[in-house]
Amino acid sequence: MPSKEEEKSCIYYIETPDILAFFGYKKPMALLLRVPAAVSFSCKASAAKTTKSAPNFPVATASASMNAANSNRKLPVLLFDIMDTVVRDPFYGDIPSFFGMSMQELLECKHPTAWMEFEKGMIDEVGLTRPGFGIEFQILVLHIIAASKRASFWVSEMKELLDTLKRRNYEMHALTNYPVWYEMIEEKLDISAYLSWTFCSCTIGKRKPDPDLYLEVVRRLQVDPGHCIFIDDRIRNVDAAVEVGMKGVHFKNADLLQKDLARLGVEFDVPKG
């Protein structure tokens, strides 16, 4: 049974142009936010509404065209982490400054398991705002959503590097710990023009550095681990990939990445004289 505090709480239907529009997010969407009645919050209440299903972005599947035995397949397969490798992660910069808090203070607002469950697709946006998580965490969720769109920018020179690799016909996939909000990043930056959102934790149900995730990747791609290069800004994720037989590159910047990939045999366009 709900507690007395829950019985007195209100469910708010937050939609643009209330909060998210302030941060530049114009796509229609909504979240259910349960706020204790004693808390003042400037948004309108309404009955719960059904949200639209997520759009389908290009996702590669294991098929004859993906088979390593296919002579047309160009190796190695390139697997990219997204946040702070391809796209700037707003969580460590924009979110703390918005709240006027240190990163440590911000992390203390996070529920100990909710974010990982969300990234693995075990709970949805409504689940993130359930009463037990506290009002601070619920409001934090709203601002992370907004920042995911407002502050999503390419990491310097990465768009150009991916474009070069695409023109060289390399097969490229995202391998990232991120919730369904990757759709906001896709909407703004069109990442799928260069690589496929094949391995998001929210659709796979596993997170890096779980070895089972990397093994799932090679099973789905039907490729030997040694024919995969994984790029990530977090060394523990790279180490986990190497443990299952992949080649790994610890990302620092686009220039060093190009040099590291070249050393591993990846071909780049010859600069025009």
- CA 252 – CA 263 distance, rounded (Å): 16
Q: How far is C-alpha 188 from the geometric centre of its chain's CA atoms?
A: 13
Query: Which residues are CB-contacts of 4 (< 8 A; sequence separation ≥ 6)?
Result: none
Q: Domain boundaries in the chain? A: 4-47+90-150, 64-88+152-263
Give the residue ranges of DSSP H helices in 168-234: 182-189, 201-204, 211-221
Domain covering 64-88+152-263, topology: Rossmann fold (3.40.50)
Report how far apart, in Å, the C-alpha atoms of 147 and of each of 1, 21, 172, 246 are: 35, 11, 26, 33
Q: How far is C-alpha 191 from the geometric centre of its chain's CA atoms?
A: 11
- CA 57 – CA 183 distance, rounded (Å): 8
Q: How far is C-alpha 128 from the geometric centre of its chain's CA atoms?
A: 16
Per DSSP, the three-state class of 69 is coil
pLDDT tens-digit profile, the chain (273 residues): 444 444 333 333 333 333 333 334 344 334 433 333 333 333 333 333 333 333 344 444 444 344 544 457 999 999 999 999 999 876 665 566 666 666 666 556 655 566 566 666 666 665 665 555 555 555 666 666 665 566 679 999 999 999 999 999 999 999 999 888 788 889 889 999 999 999 999 889 899 999 999 999 999 999 999 999 999 999 999 999 999 999 999 999 999 999 999 999 999 974 454
Q: Is-contact 173 77, C-beta < 8 A?
A: yes
Look up the pTM and report it. 0.65
